[in-house]
Structure 1
Amino acid sequence: MNITIREAAVRDTSSVAELFDLYRQFYEQPADLPRATAFIADRINGNESVILLATSQEAGPVGFCQLYPTFCSVEAQPIYTLYDLFVLPIARRSGVGKMLLQAAENRAMSDGKARMDLTTARTNRQAQQLYESMGWVRDEVFFAYSRHVDKQSAS
């Protein structure tokens, strides 16, 4: 499979949105292509993230990753959070995920980021093996927490 990776542009919104909707389904969210499309369109149009798109001549778009710019207060440096990484099942084990991670690292370096952070499901062993094979280090010091913010949780 001949893969090309490039930054997604406005013209790629629908292709990325389809992949993003499948990514969300992988994480047990219901299919919702209109929601995925609106979310991706907002990120691209607002320059709020960097989306790298993997395409092949044979299959078209086969994967993507999305980087969000943020900061590390402790290091007092800008970083990227690699929040989304998804490869279609037909392209898995072909090196697409690794290529996307390498492209993300190159982009982080060229954008002057100190590092990249990511999280993945504890059960996603295949992804964990890929990350660790590429030098990513699992955090054994910090716990990650989240809290939904809505009217009921505000009290």
Structure 2
Amino acid sequence: MKVNVRQAGLADAEIIAPLFDGYRQFYGQASDLPLAREFILDRLALLESVILLAENGQGEALGFTQLYPSFSSVSARRIWILNDLFVVPQARGTGVGKALLEAVRMHAAACGAKRLALSTAHDNPAQKLYESVGYQRDTSFFHYSLNVD
């Protein structure tokens, strides 16, 4: 399958919204397309994230990934947080995820980033994909979170 990956712009929000809604459903959230559309529009309009969109040769959306900028104080360099990666069910196992991850790596390198970081559910089968392209499970640090709502 031919896969084209490109950086999405504001005009792509309508294409990305159903993918983002599918991503949220994968993580147990109820479908809410208006919420997905608004969230994606805000991220793109405010330049708060970079979204890479995978399409087939006919321009049909196959998946996306969303990166958020952050920084490493110790290295005094940018890092990118790979927060979202989603491939439509019918395109899984066809190389779309791998193409998205390669585009993410190239984007980070072009920005002079120190590293890419991601976290995923313990039972997410995409762990094998991440490890196959060089991501390593962190064994040096504990990660904590605090819900504030």
TM-score range with shorter-chain normalisation? Answer: over 0.9
Deviation sequence 1:7-31 (CA, Å, 0-9, x none): 0111110111110000000000111
Deviating 4+ runs (over 6 angstroms): none
Look up the match of 2:17.
Answer: 17
Shift in Å at residue 145 of structure 1?
1.6
**Equivalent position amino acid for 1:139 in 2:** D
Give distance in 2, aligned partners of 1:87 and 1:145. Answer: 28
Report whether the alignment pairs 1:32 with 2:32.
Answer: yes
Give distance in 2, aligned partners of 1:88 and 1:54. Answer: 10
Runs of 5+ unmatched residues, structure 1: 151-155
Look up the match of 2:126.
Answer: 127
Look up the match of 1:49.
Answer: 49
Query: Considering only aligned residues, what root-mean-square deviation do their CA atoms show, in Å?
Result: 1.1
Look up the match of 1:147.
Answer: 146
Shift in Å at residue 76 of structure 1?
2.1
Give distance in 2, aligned partners of 1:52 and 1:132. Answer: 20
Give distance in 2, aligned partners of 1:99 and 1:40. Answer: 21
Shift in Å at residue 59 of structure 1?
7.0
SS of 2:31's equivalent in the other structure is: coil
Shift in Å at residue 58 of structure 1?
4.5
Look up the match of 2:135.
Answer: 136
SS of 1:66's equivalent in the other structure is: strand
Shift in Å at residue 117 of structure 1?
0.1
Look up the match of 1:5.
Answer: 5
Q: Identical aligned pairs, as a percentage?
A: 52
SS of 1:148's equivalent in the other structure is: coil
Aligned residue pair count: 149
Give distance in 1, aligned partners of 2:29 and 2:10. Answer: 25
TM norm structure 2: 0.96
Give distance in 2, aligned partners of 1:58 and 1:106. Answer: 24
Which has more radius of gyration? 1
**Equivalent position amino acid for 1:140 in 2:** T
Give distance in 2, aligned partners of 1:11 and 1:59. Answer: 14
**Equivalent position amino acid for 2:81 in 1:** T
Runs of 5+ unmatched residues, structure 2: none
Give distance in 2, aligned partners of 1:50 and 1:59. Answer: 19
